[in-house]
Each structure stands twice: as structure tokens, then as C-alpha cells.
Structure 1
């Protein structure tokens, strides 16, 4: 299994950094991850967050691609329905060219009401829009479409669907599924068969909410407040604009003791060996080729981020590349 690092460039008010310094440091971490053997780096997207969450992942992916030579660069995810499809096709092609054919384009439908209002997009039609965009992207990347086209003959498109219906849609379209949850594999496999695709061609990848450390008890007091902020802000922004009440703050201690079940439902905080064991249990027999981990957690000090990147690459990655039975 391949291992990646995930960056969202959050800059929370309680731990505010100079934005230029944060962006420069993150690019340095991408270079360091490559040097230490990581297989990929991934960038996410949100808008109107108080912590200045990265709003344009392809722009940052282009910068990371220019600073690296081997690691794949991915979006995990980019909210496609907020954009015009030809613009997305051109921007992705440019990043693929800059990287020499290393782009993984992860797309999602989005869910935040304020973001769709900001871009004057239809949130009710977001799933239909995304499905249509995938087909349009494939058409635009042919000889009759946008120029220049991508370097990769078939640029990998990953669809960030978590539920059974989305997994089947990704399968029917013959695209890759951006989740590492084994529970999605039967539905994804059904979709592949329905779309006339061989299940052996199915590919899955996704994020694992985990922090890897040689000494969990030493590091927990430092990292726990950042984990709580990260998860609470996701939960708060998830209901913004919907009229639903704001969820109660999470208890990171309770999350820490749960096995992974899905987004925001748990948080692994343990040694490389224990994290690897739980990852193997989570992915099961699904065709998961890559898992990525949060390199930073909402304002974590740079020295802690650097140590975490090193631990993931040098301690956890070898365990996940070995035979899981071992």
C-alpha cells in the first residue's frame, strides 16, 4: 500500500501564523516528504473558513509539483460543481504538465451552503452536476477538447463519494473511488459491473484520520486541542446555512478510543505499529492502493508537523508496504 501526506493549510485564530510563512513551510514539507519516501501529497479545499482553509488546491498543487520530482500530487478533494468544467479541465491539464504527469484529480460534490452561494452554484443539483462534469472532462481532454491536454493519456479521476449510492455511481462511470473504507467496496464493485467494467480495474484511495507518534502519552496533550478544533470546525461549518443546530463540541478522548468508521467519527492516535494494524482492518479486502494522513492538524507547531511527517514516512510507511499478515 502506498502512503501519502494531506495538507489543508489551516491557520486558526488561536495559533495564527504568517500566511506566507505557512505556505512556504508546507511546500518545504512536500519536498521533505518526497525525500523521506512518501508516495503522494494531497491538498483539500474549502471557502469562507475562519482559519483560511486552502481555497484553491490546484493552484497549490502546481507549486508543489514545481518543487518536487517524484511524488504524485493530488486534490483530496476539489469541489467541482463550484467551477466551470472547461476551466477545471485546463487547470488540471496545466498541473499535469508542470508535474510531468503526476496529477491525481480528486473531485467531490461539496456540501456547504455558503460555498455554493459564494460561487452562485446550485447545491441541490451538485451530484448531477459532478456526474456530468466527469464525462465532460473526459471529452475535453481528448484531441478535440482543450489545449494543451494532460500528459497522462487517462488522467486519474477520483470521486470522493462516501455512501453506497455514490460508490455505485463512481463504479458505473469506471472512475476511481476516493475512500479507503472497505464498506464501500461491495457497492463500488456492483457499480463497476453495472457499467460494464471489470472489478479488477477498480481502484480506491482515501484519508485516515490519525496521528502517528512513538510516544502517544507524551504527544497527546500537545495535539489534542488541535484535533478538537479541527473536528469541531468541520462539524460547525457542515450545518452553516442549513438552519440545523451547531453540534456539541467533540470529546477528543472519546474519539481516540473508537475504531475508524467514517469521516469525523473517530481519531487514531497511536504508535506506527498500532496505526498500521487499524488501517489494515479498515481497508479490509478492498482494492485500496493509497492511504494518506493529515500531516498537520489545525495550527500544529511547525516542529511537530516536521516530526509527524518524518514518523509517517520512515516508521509507518514501511509497515503498510509489508504483508499485512506480518
Structure 2
């Protein structure tokens, strides 16, 4: 079954999160996703709060930029969330926006090397292993978690380019794709992920999460078009209209290889609580 979620965008003030999270939980929405965009809101702090306010909804962070986070700290936070809220957490890591990383003095000369080292160390620590490594960016000396999760959780990674997509297949447990990913691009991305998995001998589950631009209401088409214009979308793909229109776009992404589709409302969505209820109560029943 295709998973369905909604993203709480960080352009929305953090004090709005509680009402949206509770609305999502009460409506039966499966997943609520968050972003850690510079310089808006913390992904981990927001996720912890959303999880504490709710009982059922899976809360994802897509993604945590690894240049900002020491791998030991990121893994401690990840392990803590998984122990506090077992089965309800999804975390993705990634390169981050390089211009933002430059602004804070954290830009890596080789983002690929950093992401590979970070994922390798993070997954080993979450398996309860004691890790010593002296990489280009990640250096650990006899480090182990005192409170690893009882079962090692899946760690996802964000990707756009071919090299990173192959890397997520090789080193991550899932891949998160942006809302600029239309169905044909998703098929190609899935192929690249599988190339990485094959090269690494990976055979377990690998969740593909993709965001989808979506808007509903009488002005949905105009708001979605304005969103594409603001973001200069290279391959604008989205859904504007009623539940059937949104469900059709979700189905197209599912047919192209998405395991989870996360609806991305426009930055000027006037009723976020209503949008999550729309997703859960009207769109979800139309998706296989």
C-alpha cells in the first residue's frame, strides 16, 4: 500500500505545529513530515514536539543536513527519538543546500564523501556497534551508544543527482526525493538507487519517499502555478483541485516507484489543518 503524508513546511511559524500535528493525528493521517531548512526551524526539536503531541502519526524529518551535525550527536538524537516513540519516526539526512552550508562555515569540499562517511558511521552506531574511524570528515574513537534502539532503525537520505542517488542505494535504507520529481524522473531515480544497492549487495527494503506539490480549494490552480514560478521549478509536476485530482497524481508517482508520497502544500496554504484533514479523509480513501 502506498503511504501518504503531508509536510509541515518551515515557512510556517513553529507555534502552528501543534495544531497541525493534532489535526493530522485525529484525522488519521499516516505521516507528517518536517524540514530542517536554514534558517527556519530545527528538525529534531520539531519532530520531538510533534511526536509528543500525537499518538499515531509517523513523523518524518526530510532532511537533516549532515554538514551541520556531528555524526555522534545526530545519532544520539536519532536513537533517543526511536526509543521514546518506537515505530513512529522517520529520519533522513543529506547534503543540505550548499549556499546555506557556506553561510554557516560548514560547507564540505566533498559533500559525497561526507554523506558516505556520515551514513556509514550512523548506521553502525544505531546497530549498537562500537565504532572507530578516521575518515576525511567523520572521526570517531571507540564510540558506542549507551542507549541504542532495540532494533536498528532505517536511515533515509535525500538525493537529486545521479551520484547521490546511487550512494543512497549503497549506504542508506531509503531515499527522499524532492517535489520536482515527476514520474519519469522517479523511474530513473529508482533505477539509479537500485544500481547502488546492487553494487553494495543490498537486498533489504529501501523506501522511496517523494514529495508532491498539491493544492485544493477554489484558487488551487493559481496558487500552485505561483508556487512553481516562485521556485523556478525545472519540471513542474503537481496536483491542483479536488481529492480525485490529487489521488490521481499520487497514483502516478506510486506507479513510477514511490512507496510514500508526501503532499507539499503551497507556501501560502490558507488552512493547514484543513489540508491535512483533506489528505486523510478525502484523498487517502482513493489511493490503493
Same fold, TM-score > 0.5, yes or no: yes
Q: Is 1:209 the counterpart of 2:200 in the alignment? A: no
Determine helix, strand or coil for the equivalent of 1:177: strand
CA distance in 1, matches of 2:214, 2:101: 27
Alignment of 1:167-316 (within 5 A): 167-173=165-171, 175-179=173-177, 181-198=186-203, 201-211=205-215, 213=216, 215=217, 218-220=218-220, 224=223, 228=226, 232=230, 235=231, 265-286=236-257, 288-294=258-264, 296-301=265-270, 304-316=271-283
Cα distance 1:110–1:174, how it changes in 2: closer, same or farther (>3 A)? closer
TM-score (normalised: structure 1): 0.74
CA distance in 1, matches of 2:243, 2:108: 40
> When the two structures are aligned, how many residues end up with a matched partner?
266
Aligned partner of 1:14 in structure 2 is none
CA distance in 2, matches of 1:124, 1:139: 24
Cα distance 1:174–1:107, how it changes in 2: closer, same or farther (>3 A)? closer
**How far is 1:283 from its partner?**
3.5
CA distance in 2, matches of 1:123, 1:268: 36
Q: Is 1:116 the counterpart of 2:110 in the alignment? A: no
**How far is 1:44 from its partner?**
0.3
Aligned partner of 1:25 in structure 2 is 16
Structure 1 residues not aligned, in runs of 5+: 12-21, 236-249, 256-260
- What is the RMSD of the two structures over their aligned residues, measured on CA atoms? 2.4
**How far is 1:143 from its partner?**
4.9
**How far is 1:124 from its partner?**
2.6
8 Å contact kept, 1:174–1:195: no
CA distance in 1, matches of 2:65, 2:249: 29
Aligned partner of 2:161 in structure 1 is 163
CA distance in 1, matches of 2:160, 2:279: 25
Cα distance 1:112–1:165, how it changes in 2: closer, same or farther (>3 A)? closer
Structure 2 residues not aligned, in runs of 5+: 131-143
**How far is 1:65 from its partner?**
0.9
Cα distance 1:279–1:299, how it changes in 2: closer, same or farther (>3 A)? closer
TM-score (normalised: structure 2): 0.83
